[in-house]
Structure 1
Amino acid sequence: MSSRRVLRWSAALAAAVLLPTVGAAYLGYTQLSGNITHEKVTDRLGTVRPPKYTKALNILLIGSDTRAGENARFGHTAGARSDTIILLHISPRRDGATAISFPRDLMVDAPACTTATGAAVSPALEMINATFSAGGAACTWKTIESVTGIHIDHFMQIDFTGFRRMVDALGGVEVCLPEAVNDPKSHLELAAGRHTVTGNTALAYVRTRYALGDGSDLGRIRRQQLFMAAMVRKATSTGLITSPVRLYKFLNAATKSLTTDDDLDLGTLHTIADSVRGMSTGQVRFLTVPNHYWEVDPNRVALTQPQAAQLFTAVSKDTHAPAANPSNSASPGSTTPTRATVSVRVVNGSGRAGLARRVTARLRNLGFTRAVVATAPTSASRTAIRTTMAGQAATRVLAAALTRSPALTREVGTGRTLTLVLGDDWAAAPGRQGIRLRDAASAGIIRASTLSSGVTARTGACHA
């Protein structure tokens, strides 16, 4: 994905989570209300909306990658997108907050909606970030309500410039890199270890994808959750709340790039803030919706059921959320291959159209997040794994996910990337004769992503 198509959630979440922590100061900064841009959206949400069961506040956070105005310095991509969307849930008693991330590539049934100019947008099965491109905040709001059944009260939208201003107003945010990074796409260049980042470096850190971790969008969400936790921690531990000058600077930075619905003004923010002043950093939790790689296209994800429905019901009615799923990742510092660290190229040698794509999607759902489709033409009667001496441990991990032992071909080299060649003996469907992948239950894998990433505002920067 181009660095110009970036998850802009960090700044939006900062505006929603950090602003409420400084509620007492709003009374002295009424002039800041002129900074906020308001958009009329409630009349475009339709008459059939989810019921509101409790006094919780649900705020939709949208990050825009628009290049308009001051954002032009970050490139010239036309239009504006929201590459990740977050639903911030503030509990009825204002004693806890949960931020739920929706990956930008999540496939959803988007309902019909209208743009700000009144143009009709037809319902469609599409990526969730496409709803913002098609119809703005109102279409995204309506889609999230339709998908989750959660009643949303307000929305907040912020852009690149607002993010940079807020990080600078905080005096920078600590990040922790497991290895040195030099990413030409995001322009992030940092040595391994801890750093306090500001300005463009902070923006590059939340933009980078392929240069850190496994290169997945879900991995980037995890890093951004850690970044957001660090922002909350910095705001509540460094005297920002008690320093009028620093506080004004932060609020001015946040509100200058903030767009909200008509009903969410500084007065409403003060009301929210007054209710949550006593909330500790440990009571701010970050989740990602349960998801799996979409079988139609492994470059997209879909909601995993019933886990997603259980989470949405728990949030809507403020009941106990489902327990987090166990992780399939190796422990820090481990060199033992796991499904998440094994790289697999899938080659279709069966002649059956689309087989490599479907198997790759299933591999990813089983935890092989580095599985990719290989386009090299071949023909094979037997399914086989091509490996090297260096890839033997990884081969055992992949073979364990198959219902029968495949043929093994040892090649010359030191690389650890495996090639899974799908032969004529690959079973067309479960129950048929032939070799195939084990199902999720027998493979010991829960296909949903973890309901909780284990991130709260107390989580340290080096817990990536």
Structure 2
Amino acid sequence: MLVGETGKGGRKPSVWSGVPRWARACTVFGAVLMVLSGAVLVGYEALLTRYEGAVGKADLFGDQAAGAQERKSNIKGPLNILLVGTDPRKPEDQPLADSIMVLHVPDSLDRAYLFSLPRDLIVDIPRFDKAGYSGGTGKLNGAMSKGSIVQGQNPSASQGFELLAKTVQKVTGIERFDAGAIINFTGFQKIVDAMGGVDMYIERDVKSEHREPNGTHRKGNPYGQGYIGPQAEYKKGRQHLSGWQALDYVRQRYPKNGVPDGDYGRQRHQQQFIKAMVSQAFSADVVTNPLKLDRVIRAAGQSLTFNGRGNSVVDFAIALKGIRPENVELIKLPGEGVGTGSAYRGERFLPAVNDFFTALKNEQLDAFILEHPEFRNKNK
């Protein structure tokens, strides 16, 4: 993964600061697809065992260590699911939460809200004795790294997820997550390609900073920063994107490439792609094609580590089978940078976000969004 993208010299506070980078956000798309694919699985009982077996399992919340053997008779709302994207690193490297999203499902289990938390959000990270961490202030994505330390062993991403979950709970006021997932972005392109690509609406002409029209990486500029050579282009209108094109499109954030609102535009494009991807999963082309469906399931499963606190990913998929892509509300949380240029420290939410979290806790998001339509990310 590239580093140093936020906090560069001259950086200005944005309407939506701290937006996850292209690969970071893309990594959680597979998890959203897995959790919201129950309607696809119903009627395909032969695939259920493969679906469950393909998904990695880990104790993401420390339940086993605490001696918990929780098992729900059935899944009831409201639900909060923490989705974390990571970029696979060397086994000895501490993992970072490159993308952090929460999927909130109201009591009716027929719709959902999806919102992101800035990886650079300045937060209080609680004490975590398992990793020998005494607690402190830092960036949100660092919680996973600090919590992953295991004495005498390689870092543990699942243990790091536990501290990250505790930190996100403090930020959002969510008392308990009902499930969690870690997904790596290297598998995302395979998911899209297994689906045969994804159709989505491109809201304006965009040129790639990173890829040539044939998908190869552009060469670095020998005379300065940036890249040289022909650029892949994404024209306004409905387009069909392959895996590499999807990753590349949602990466773009520069005005010079056709994204005048920078990181805010990139986040909107990422969320638009989530809906397009899930819609594709529900399409007849996938649902009525067992071989393609099997490829999609396996591609997603190989990239996913899931913990349902006693319930399997299939249990959740079937429980949420009533949710359709058009019933997933994409939320933007306004924030701003703390400091600029070399004095940049991270991100903070604007005060209105506290009202959003209060509405979330009180199950009043429908009313909140009606009163605050600016929190709704447009679909196209």
TM range (shorter): 0.7 to 0.9
Cα deviation code 1:105-146 (max 9, x no counterpart): 2222221225xxx32223222221121232221121111111
SS in 2 for 1:141: helix
- Does the C-alpha gap of structure 1 residues 94 and 213 become closer, same or farther in structure 2, counting only changes over 3 Å? same
Secondary structure of 1:42 counterpart = coil
In terms of mean alpha carbon deviation, does 79-88 or 227-236 score higher?
79-88
2:243 is matched with which residue? 199
In the alignment, which residue of structure 2 is the partner of 1:35? Answer: 54
Please say if 1:255 is aligned against 2:310: no
Trace 1:61-210 onto structure 2 (pairs within 5 A): 61-67=83-89, 79-114=94-129, 118-135=130-147, 136-150=160-174, 151-175=176-200, 176=202, 178-184=204-210, 189-194=232-237, 195-210=239-254
Shift of 1:83: 2.6
Partner amino acid, structure 2, of 1:9: A
Do structure 1's residue 23 and structure 2's residue 41 form an aligned pair?
A: yes
1:348 equivalent in structure 2:
none
1:218 counterpart (248, 264, 282):
264
Deviations 1:279-300 (A, max 9, x none): 3322111112232333585573
Q: Which moved more, 1:105-114 or 1:244-253?
A: 105-114
Deviation at 1:303, TM superposition (A): 1.6
| Deviation, structure 1 residue 86 | 0.5
Q: Which one has the bigger helix percentage?
A: 2
CA distance in 1, matches of 2:260, 2:135: 34
Alignment of 1:186-335 (within 5 A): 189-194=232-237, 195-210=239-254, 211-214=257-260, 216-261=262-307, 263=309, 268-294=312-338, 300-305=346-351, 307-319=352-364, 320-323=366-369
Q: How far apart are the structure 2 equivalents of 1:209 and 1:21? A: 34
Deviation of 1:213 after TM superposition, in Å, equals 1.6
**Distance in 2 of aligned mates of 1:84 and 1:120:** 24
Corresponding residue for residue 79 of structure 2? 57
SS state at 1:88 partner: strand
> CA distance change for structure 1 residues 33 and 95 in 2, over 3 Å: closer, same or farther?
closer
Work out the CA distance in 2 between the residues paired with 1:152 and 1:36.
Answer: 19
SS at match of 2:369: coil
Which residue in the other structure is 2:375 paired with? 451
1:180, distance to aligned residue in structure 2 (A): 4.2
Q: What letter is aligned with 1:86?
A: M
Q: Distance in 2 between matches of 1:127 and 1:301?
A: 8
List runs of 5+ in structure 1 lacking aligned partners.
48-53, 70-76, 328-449
Q: Indicate the residue corresponding to 2:17 in structure 1.
A: none
Kindly state the Cα deviation for residue 45 of structure 1 after the two structures are TM-superposed. Answer: 11
Q: Distance in 2 between matches of 1:14 and 1:170?
A: 12
CA distance in 2, matches of 1:140, 1:202: 28
Q: Return the alpha-carbon distance in structure 1 between the equivalents of residues 65 and 137 of structure 2.
A: 19
Give the drift of 1:220: 1.7
Match of 2:214 in 1: none
Distance 1:294 1:282, change over 3 A: same
Deviations 1:18-53 (A, max 9, x none): 433423156322134332222213227999xxxxxx
8 Å contact kept, 2:29–2:188: no
Q: In the TM superposition, what whole-angstrom CA distance separates every residue of 1:171-221 from its partner, at most 9, and x where no partner exists? A: 112342623413138757224334322122222223333345246433321
Partner SS state of residue 104, structure 1 = coil
Is 1:12 matched with 2:56?
A: no
| Counterpart residue identity of residue 272, structure 2 | L
Q: Is the 8 A contact 1:39 1:262 kept in 2?
A: no
Cα gap change, 1:121/1:221 in structure 2, threshold over 3 Å: closer, same or farther? farther
Say which SS state the counterpart of residue 144 (structure 1) adopts: helix
TM, length-normalised to structure 2: 0.72
Q: Which amino acid in 1 is paired with 2:205?
A: E
Distance 1:253 1:264, change over 3 A: farther
Distance 1:46 1:102 in 2: 28
Counterparts of 2:369 and 2:105, CA distance in 1:
19
Contact 1:100 1:288 in 2 (8 A): yes
Counterpart of 2:81, as a letter, is I
Measured in 2, the distance between the counterparts of 1:324 and 1:3 equals: 38
Distance 2:314 2:131 in 1: 35
Can you list the C-alpha shifts for 1:214-234, whole angstroms capped at 9, x where unaligned?
464333211100111111222
**CA offsets per residue over residues 298-323 of structure 1, 9 Å max, x none?**
57321222x22221222223224423
Structure 2 gaps, min length 5:
6-20, 67-75, 148-159, 212-216, 219-230
Partners of 2:206 and 2:258 within 8 A in 1: no
Distance in 1 (CA, whole Å) between partners of 2:310 and 2:299 is: 17
- Contact map agreement 1:8 1:65 (CA 8 A) in 2: yes
What value does the CA root-mean-square deviation take over the aligned residues? 3.2
Q: Percent identity?
A: 29
Which is bigger in relative contact order (C-alpha 8 A, separation at least 6)? 2
What pairs up with 1:346-385 in 2 under 5 angstroms? none
Provide the rounded CA distance (Å) in 2 between the counterparts of 1:40 and 1:271. 17
* Contact 1:20/1:269, CA 8 A, preserved across alignment: no
- Contact preservation (8 Å) 1:288, 1:453: yes
Max radius of gyration: which structure? 1
Query: Structure 1 residues 121, 23: CA separation in 2 closer, same or farther (over 3 Å shift)?
Result: farther
